[in-house]
Amino acid sequence: MTTHDFDWTSGYPTQRLPVFGRNVVSTSHPVAAQAGLRMLMKGGNAVDAAIAAAAAMTIVEPVSNGLGSDSFCILWDGQQLHGLNASGRAPQAWTRAYFKAKYGDGAKNPPQRGWDSVTVPGAVGSWVALSERFGKLPFADLLEPAIDIAERGYAVPVVVQQKWAAAVPLLSELPGFAQAFMPKGRAPEVGELFRFPVAAKSLKLIAESKGAAYYGGEIAEAAARHARENGGSITVEDFAAYKPEWVTPIGKTYGGHTLHEIPPNGQGIAALIALGILAHFDLASLKVDSAESQHLQIEAMKLAFADVYRYVAEPGSMAVTAEQMLDDAYLASRAKLIDMKRAQDFGAGNPVKGGTIYLTAADEGGMMVSFIQSNFQGFGSGVVVPEYGLSMQNRGHAFSLDAKSPNVVSPGKRPFHTIIPAFLTKEGKPLMSFGVMGANMQPQGHLQTLVRMLDYRQHPQAACDAPRWRFNAGLEINVESAMNPATVQGLADRGHQMEVINDSYQDFGAGQFIWRLGDPAVEGYVAASDPRRDGQAVAY
């Protein structure tokens, strides 16, 4: 039995080839991918592999994530899909008045860096929750590879080093940053050994206590103390109160397949809206890399973002529901706004009427895991808790201080979130676990790669390698330098205001993909890993 009709001859200039196997892990650092594979070879399942890889990623790609990250997951347990929202909540001290008093009436958001940008991190909580509900191996076993990497060190790879060096001038004065990430007074060089023994200490405490040391114990006490000493307000009680939330993924059908995303407070619904709009066009009739095809996708994505930025927040704070935003009749009305000859700047409709790591793992028993983990912007808040190696995210910066915004800050609330794992099914059966990292590029990456696979029969690695565009705001887009010049000109002729970008690391995201080929114990899977990062897919 096969589950695809890919053209295996299609492709773009790349250093990567598809990887086949019955047990697969794909992420943006080879050492982390191998950490996950070790769990599979030890008798663990895809959840065990994902947790091991995620823990290792906090050490080997600290620019993008750390022990103070948030995370989300969609997994197929062999029978059904489950979603996990492990985004952090605001400390109890956080109100509009708190920030206005500290930063002035003109402040529009909490600060970008420092302790006042840090919500309670959820990633460690997600590891524990996933292991307790779906894991096979003892939780402590899953953190062994990360502990070993942190203690012995690793050679810093090319792409990570570039971003590390770029962050140092911005963050070197923030509490704990230089001590943790500038061991010689600078960023490590490519190939230079970096050790992180204090993070190994925290990982051991987390392993021994199954996360209790982090959420209310020794680690939480150290974080709260460091916050007090450096102008923050997060408390041990804030950590102790944290629990990740199991959720039901939302979905939209396109071309006989269903794309599933985590529901708000995240932006995954943007990819569903865009696909729902594209369903009203015959995209496959347009040439794959033509200006016409790219223009149509860009305009659908713009329409999606217009609604997402206007309405999406914590579900209890939204004026509309996800169901209303995904209503077929409403999306049909939005599709009619697209002009195939002209780029437009769309406003939000009225649906009432109608820097991040990603990894994926799959095993021969049929379990598939789509997992994403992030500090938000490079190195997050820039704050690192001394002696424990906690590099804290800055997700609080995504809150609004506008009292009328659905995303306005309040105690215990979760902010609008950019990180989104994805999952594809067909007729209720699992097909692909995948994700693309990179701020608002994530739903755009989901859309572009999925269209290439479903409409144009490109295999996952080819869809991953293909040049991408990125919508920013208004009529502004970026395109990768590898995009066909005729396509670039065709987009310019339609009024798109473009900048060609050579740096693909952050501007165009990076993805990992695992596609089920049939019976996982027989045909197995095919995996792809993005050449825009240092990673790889590994399998046996």
- 146, containing H or E segment: helix 144-152
Instruction: Please give the pLDDT value at position 502.
Output: 78
Instruction: Please give the pLDDT value at position 356.
Output: 85
Is residue 390 classed as helix, strand or coil in its secondary structure?
strand
10-residue mean pLDDT series, the chain (540 residues): 79 90 97 98 98 98 97 97 98 98 96 98 98 98 98 97 95 98 97 98 98 98 98 98 98 97 95 98 97 98 96 94 96 97 88 74 98 94 97 97 96 94 97 92 96 97 96 94 96 96 74 97 97 95
Q: Please give the DSSP secondary-structure letter assigned to residue 28.
A: S
Q: Which residues does 415 contact at the CB level (< 8 Å), separation at least 6?
A: 87, 90, 119, 265, 313, 395, 396, 398, 399, 407, 409
Q: Which residues does 200 contact at the CB level (< 8 Å), separation at least 6?
A: 146, 147, 150, 151, 389
Residues with catalytic roles: 356
Amino acid letter, residue 472:
N
Asked if 85 contacts 262 with a C-beta cutoff of 8 angstroms, the reply is yes
Round to whole Å and give the CA distance between 292 and 30: 37
Instruction: Please give the pLDDT value at position 504.
Output: 54
pLDDT digits (tens, 9 = 90+) for 331-385: 999 999 999 999 999 987 777 543 689 999 999 999 999 999 999 988 999 999 9
Q: Which residues does 404 contact at the CB level (< 8 Å), separation at least 6?
A: none
Question: What six digits make up the tokens of 187?
Answer: 């960023």
Sheet holding 70-76, edge to edge: 245-247, 81-86, 70-76, 368-374, 356-362, 24-27, 536-539
| Count of CB atoms situated within 10 Å of the CB of 14 | 15
pTM for the structure as a whole: 0.96
Instruction: Please give the pLDDT value at position 180.
Output: 98
**Beta-strand pair 497-501/476-480:** parallel
Question: What six digits make up the tokens of 361?
Answer: 């793992």
Question: What six digits make up the tokens of 328?
Answer: 């077929």
